[in-house]
Amino acid sequence: MQRLIARLDIKNGIVIKGIHLEGQRRIGDPIELAQKYYAQAVDEILLMDSVASLYGRSNLFHMISEACKTVFVPITMGGGIRSIEDVERALAAGADKVAVNTALVNAPSLAERIASVYGSQCLVASIEAKRKGEVWEAYISNGREPTGRDVIEWARELELRGAGELLVTSVDQEGTQRGFDIELCAAVEAAVRIPVVASGGAGKLQHLQQLDERTELQGVAIASLLHYDKATVAELKAALPSTYDRQGAVK
């Protein structure tokens, strides 16, 4: 595992944390939390507008601009990215990448346009996955609406269309702190060649270790462990000795 990412889900200007992508527990100010995790040496920060698809717009552009004044690690902006113009605005605000889910489901060719204009490294295709029997179905609108798409097939299509990496969130595990859906992560990883980042379920350090032992994912997005002060970034890195040295640098 090569990247430890702090995930901040934002609603009305406040970082929130729920269960199964639902809920309203207020955590704190996004800029202050981004600064805190940056000071702890997190590798990247992911800012997600949790209600952007619901309201058809994102409120994060100004927030990204403010964060970039004091936070100097790669920042990914997600939620409400619906067009090339939105991508341009996000990058102009200081984001390094954009995470897109709903808009890609509604118009898959958008992935090709983003990759063509800004490069595949700019596009993080976000997949919200719910288990359906022995497989997983992709959801949109912050885990609210089923798409009828098989997650593994959709992951392959997104790679072919130019996505540079995949952010795979297990809606079933998200916020539960019961551990990752490792089977889901391994299945997506086996289906594509681009980097895969897992999100949803970490509640203790052992969960990261289990994921690291059973997959070769590029990264993991962490929320509850950091937001509830269950672990510092240094402690998370120490739990992954195959990736980080004693100083917290990638080996």
Alpha carbon distance 221, 165 (integer Å)? 13
φ, ψ (nearest 5 deg) of residue 139: -120, 160
> Does the active-site annotation cover 128?
yes
The 10 Å CB-count burial string (b at 16+, else e) for 109-131 is ebbebbbeebebebbbbbbbbbb
109-118 and 84-93 are packed helices; what angle lies between their axes, rounded to 10 degrees?
A: 40
Which one-letter amino acid corresponds to residue 163?
A
Which of the residues in the chain have pLDDT under 50?
none
The pLDDT value given to residue 57: 66
Q: How far is CA 182 from CA 64, 80, 172, 197, in A?
A: 31, 28, 12, 12
The candidate with the shortest Cα–Cα distance to 72, out of 32, 29, 38, is 38
Spacing of C-alpha 128 from chain mean position: 10
Q: Alpha helices, DSSP H only, in the chain?
A: 30-39, 52-55, 61-67, 84-93, 102-106, 109-118, 151-160, 182-191, 205-214, 224-227, 233-238
Report how far residue 143's alpha carbon sits from residue 18's, in angstroms, rounded to the nearest whole number: 12
CA 187/CA 2 separation, integer angstroms: 19
Tell me the pairing of strands 219-222 and 196-199. Answer: parallel
Plot region of 80 (φ>0 → left; ψ -120 to 50 → alpha; else → beta) = left
Q: How far apart are CA 42 and CA 191, in angstroms?
A: 28
Which of 44, 86, 128, 174 is the catalytic position?
Answer: 128
Catalytic residue among 9, 137, 165, 189: 9
Q: How far is CA 73 from CA 38, 58, 95, 158, in A?
A: 7, 22, 10, 26
- What sign results for the dihedral spanned by CA atoms 51, 52, 56, 57? positive
Strands 14-19, 22-28: parallel, antiparallel or unpaired by DSSP?
antiparallel
Tell me the domains of the chain and their CATH numbers. 3-238 (3.20.20.70)
pLDDT of residue 59: 80
